[in-house]
A = this chain, B = another copy of it.
Amino acid sequence: MSDPATPTGADPLLLRRVLDGRHHVLREEIRLAHAAGWFTPRQHADDEAHRAWVAAAMHEVARTPHQLLGFPAGVGGGDDVGASVAAFEMLALGDLSLTVKAGVQWGLFGGAVQALGTQAHHERYLPSIMDFSLPGCFAMTESGHGSDVQGLRTTAVYDPAAQEFVVHTPDAGATKDYIGGAARDGRLAVVFAQLITGGQEHGVHALLVPVRDASGAPAPGVTIEDCGRKAGLAGVDNGRLRFDHVRVPREALLDRYAQVAPDGTYTSPVASPGRRFFTMIGALVRGRLSISGAALSATKVGLDVAVRHGQDRRQFTDPATGEEVRLLDHPSHRRRLLPAVARAYGWTFVQAGLVDRLQEAHAGRLDEAATRLLETDVAAVKAATTWEAARTLQTAREACGGAGYLTTSRLPELRADTDVFTTFEGDNTVLVQLVAKNLLTGYAAGARGRLGAVRTGVRSLLSRAGDRVRVPLRTDVLDPARQVALLTAREEHVLDGLARRLRAAVAGGATPAAAASAVQDHMQVLGRAHVDRLLVEALDERVRACPAGPTADLLARVRDLAVLSRLEEDMSWFLAHGRLGRSDAKAVTRHVDRLCTELRPDAVALVDAFGIDPSWSRRAAAVDADQELAA
């Protein structure tokens, strides 16, 4: 608590604690580990050197406990999935190739063995997965099928005589593609394939298939190709895998949700093939939430760089003072950056809430409906945070001018590395459609129970609104309870309209598929409406939890700026649907301007609270024009 207060009197340590949330101590521990210099981003001679550095760093990371906290205690993990996501978020403040490599090894590959396998798989494989002595791959995507996972064409045919599965790539489109770890390091792959026993297809299942021997040579029947250069993530060895009738033992099937008996009899605790598929995919929700967290971390690093640059650099002389003006003192400059800072706070709170719910799910404390809703929310948030990362890092790059184009600013690498986040672990556009479908399903099935719950929440918020700290100059549209109600009402309105359109289309003779196709754009609106409600709810809840005082006042402004900047962006919807009036629209813009001005003095304190060590964010060189040349 010895840190001096921020310019407006807020407590920097409290700010950081609010952002760090439940895992503050873990995060501080990892910050210390980071500060030792392991993860400082560095320039590599070429992609091969970068890959080699990442592989070496993986062994170092494996020697710390943080990334392995999500594995079962029985094999040396911590049984703490929430902590493992928090640790992953911290890792993502450093080199993103290392982060993604860790995500592939422990989140996707290890996570699949953990979530889809059973005790024997855990005991046999998890220890060597955890210490990286068994590097692996998560071989789901195929060249011809990315988003449509149910359409995968790789086959796993059971041969009862040999008690083996025959894994095969029937055509070029079934090549496993973009697979992290495939090109260089991977030994064992979790392969998603159409399972066939006794001539009957059972849909997509996951099996463990060796892809390289101990010497690093491709396993018999496996063809490996390097995907080559990518926009970013140069240190990740993405590759292609093809299987030519590769035989694996019956035990290779990850059999938590489906078993094949020695004679080939197929059994599953989940009767419906469709539901079985979604149960298996749903078990991988941690991977998607981890990507969301990583996108958020990269966003924070970019904002840290850009806000400090805006503070340090001066341009254009103020005739009144004769002094050059700091970039952040130009209103249009801070208008570009501060709403993004405020939203980064908001997404941090949303992410923390999802991590808590994931923890509940892992502890078996969520019922099926709550589990489905968690999957829906994670999909919605992953799309939102990764798009926000792409956009914010672009803004940050531009806000640093030419300096932001040099790799020394770290911004080019952040931008290029995170770009693929918008399409991997679920293409964002497809994910948002999934969100809308799930919400519609809940709507149809639950007799509006889902929105009923939301309504109750709004009512309770409204009843509590009287307790909150009052901020002066606030009009109606600035009342947090009304903001929550407004965004909830939008979600309801869009959901109602979508359901009505679908019913009308089907009544008019359209197939369900054609009807769904015709409303794809409304689905995108619904997905956004949903995630915006999550954003405003999380902001309101976390800010309200802060003890009254200058820090809470600062956070209230952050909340207002985050929410109002989103309202401003979607204002046409609120106006066109009569939810806000013309004077509200102008008030929103005016208040966004005002909040950017009021937050200006604390701009650096707000990014300080992200807790990013200077050694991990090589800064855009802000040359002091007054500095004398040496010699």
Contact = CB atoms under 8 A, between A and B. Distances in A.
Interface of A: 43, 46, 141, 143-148, 151, 153, 169-175, 177-178, 227-232, 242, 314-320, 324, 330-333, 335-336, 390, 394, 397-398, 401-402, 404-408, 411-412, 415-416, 419-420, 422-424, 427-429, 433, 511-514, 517-518, 520-521, 523-524, 568, 571-572, 575-578, 582, 585-586, 593, 621, 623-629
Contact of A242 (B170, B330, B629): B629
A233 to B, nearest CB: 8
16 contacts: A143-B623, A143-B625, A146-B402, A148-B315, A151-B316, A153-B625, A173-B627, A228-B407, A231-B407, A231-B415, A331-B518, A332-B523, A394-B394, A398-B427, A398-B429, A568-B572
Contact of A576 (B228, B428, B586): B586
Nearest to A597: B518
B412 A145 contact: no
A626 B170 CA distance: 9
Contact of A517 (B178, B330, B433): B330
Contacts of A229: 43, 406-407
Given A422-B398, A521-B332, A576-B575, A144 B405 contact: no
Contacts of A524: 332
Contacts of A429: 332-333, 336, 398
B316 A148 contact: yes
A398 B428 contact: yes
Given A151-B316, A317-B151, A420-B402, A623 B231 contact: no
B316 A227 contact: no
A576 B585 CA distance: 6
A174 B406 contact: no
Given A146-B315, A319-B511, A511-B319, A171 B625 contact: yes
Nearest to A574: B572
Contacts of A46: 46
Given A401-B423, A520-B330, A406 B629 contact: no
Contacts of A232: 405, 412
A151 B324 contact: yes
Q: Which 6 A-B pairs have the closest CB atoms?
A: A173-B625, A231-B412, A144-B625, A571-B572, A576-B585, A332-B520
B578 A147 contact: no
Contacts of A175: 623
Contacts of A624: 144, 172-173
A412 B227 CA distance: 14
A625 B324 contact: no
A332 B416 contact: no
B420 A405 contact: yes
A166 to B, nearest CB: 16
A549 B327 CA distance: 53
Contacts of A514: 320
Contact of A141 (B336, B402, B512): B402
A626 B586 contact: no
Given A171-B629, A576-B586, A405 B419 contact: yes
A74 to B, nearest CB: 36
A11 to B, nearest CB: 31
A416 B231 contact: yes
Contacts of A424: 402
A405 B230 contact: yes
Nearest to A422: B398
A404 B227 CA distance: 12
Nearest to A517: B331
A424 to B, nearest CB: 7
A477 to B, nearest CB: 13
A401 B231 CA distance: 12
Contact of A423 (B230, B390, B405, B517): B405
B401 A230 contact: no
A575 to B, nearest CB: 4
Contacts of A332: 429, 433, 520-521, 523-524
Highest count of chain B CB atoms <10 Å: which of A568, A626, A629: A629
Contacts of A320: 511, 513-514
A518 B332 CA distance: 9
B582 A571 contact: no
A109 to B, nearest CB: 18
A43 B47 CA distance: 13
A401 B582 CA distance: 39
B401 A228 contact: no
B230 A412 contact: yes
Contacts of A316: 147-148, 151
Contacts of A568: 572
Given A147-B316, A331-B521, A335-B520, 6 more contacts: A148-B324, A171-B625, A172-B624, A175-B623, A231-B415, A332-B521
Nearest to A329: B517
Contacts of A397: 231, 419
A138 to B, nearest CB: 14
B401 A623 contact: no
Nearest to A584: B576
Given A408-B228, A576-B586, A629 B331 contact: no
A41 to B, nearest CB: 12
Contacts of A582: 575-578
Nearest to A318: B513
A237 to B, nearest CB: 13
Contacts of A141: 402
B513 A405 contact: no
A497 to B, nearest CB: 11
Contacts of A423: 398, 401-402, 404-405
